Structure 1
Amino acid sequence: MTKEFTVPPVIFPAGGNPSATSNINQRQVPTAPFQPNRAASSSIPFMSFDIGSASAFASHGGSIASSTSSLGGPASFDDEEPLLDELGIHPDQIWKKTKSILNPFRVNPTVHKDSDLSGPIFLYLSFGLFQLLAGKLQFGVILGWIVVSSIFLYVVFNMLAGRNGNLDLHTCTSVIGYCMLPVVILAALSLFLPQGGLVRLVVAAVFVLWATRVSTNLMVSLADGGEEHRGLIAYACFLIYTLFSLLVIF
């Protein structure tokens, strides 16, 4: 048995559905993405790339360059300092200091008044390179011993000199580094000397005494209060360079 439902008929007006017509009228035509607003774009000024504007820009750039040079800036690359000078590395100064170490009986302390670390670092690397050629990888050991030796000699000198001592750690490290030149020469000669034996020990003792004499004279000349304690300072320097010579011998 089926049940029937009475549904009232739907009557549309003569003009169609008014809500659908209004929705169609309210719709806007979709625009492409990232399309700028024409009203806003029309107000943006654009530069005209013609010959006149290019010449004006060139003249304007020339005036900027002239104003920059007038302010003291470098006008060209030729006026800049060399790269080594900017890094604080002066090859002429390093060569003069190294050459003054070659004569242990005539040391020029005036050359070493301006202390630097570029020359000592070069000598440390040379010493490590010669040790590497001998089959000994000791770059870290050399660097560690240099730091400990510099602090050791700095403390010993200032304790002996007392209030009169004016030796700073930078000067002490520079002097010890430049006086490593005899030990570096010993490391180079040890490549051609027989392993062990008395000859190797005698040659090492000569170079250690050379480095000790030069470093003692420089320490006493560059700092005050060390003349009366020359023997003790020489003993401290002797221990330092003996320690480095043991790396070469053994």
Structure 2
Amino acid sequence: MAAALYDETEALMIESILLTAARVSTFAQKRHLTNASGFFFERDQHLFLVTSRHVMVDESSKHFPDRIEIELHTDSENMARSTGFSIPLYRDGQSTWRQGRDRAGDIDVAVIEIDRAALPATTVYRAFTPQHLHGSLQQVSVGTSLLVVGFPLGFHDTLHHLPVARHAVIASSFVLRFQGKGYFLTDARTHRGTSGAPVVMHASERDTISGDLPWILLGIHSSRLDMGTRDVLLDEALGLNCVWYADILMTLTEKPELIAQEVSGEVSDD
């Protein structure tokens, strides 16, 4: 279903997948910390921003932002117009995002609900829905072509405030969790700032996805994977990436009364 407040008759001919992604900036009060990627996910009339959990907090790197800011389009006839939208990460001492665990440990995915009433009335975006999680997954195999839509190193179309798409292929068995973890691998050139980007596959004619967002959401890009024993002078980086299965979103976006702040979920093996 197309996101509300988006007038298709007035919109420019922009690929809908580019309107799903949001550039994320993290802040400690007024001090800018990092750049990342995120995307919109809608369920039961609730709108969420999805990104990597380490964007919200990362103890190992002493990354402790207290708010994030996303950039929103505000004029369907002029994509050069945008505004920053600030989202606090804590309220009354409690974190406002939801994160999860599965049987293998922590999952590097976080969602935070967006107050629709606080959005500018003319906000332009597209949102994935649960419908986009259930396509022809039997077609997903090693070598399947994917897109990673995000903001590597913060890079983007600074005039129209749009992300860029990088090509990727599946590099491990999609039906087997890599090394028992809740993710699969992709072969793609990625950079810092891509964390939290949607990893998608184009829907086929057999898929029943309605609307103008014909993409299957397979996962959430997390980080690059490398060998600790690699000789940095002699050996190139592997070019492999960890992508968490998108099914976790069905757990993280459950109704608040059905989940705790720390969610215990299961990541699909198929």
TM-score class, shorter: under 0.3
Q: What TM-score does the superposition give when structure 2 sets the normalisation length?
A: 0.22
Greater helix percent: which structure?
A: 1
Which structure has the larger Rg?
1
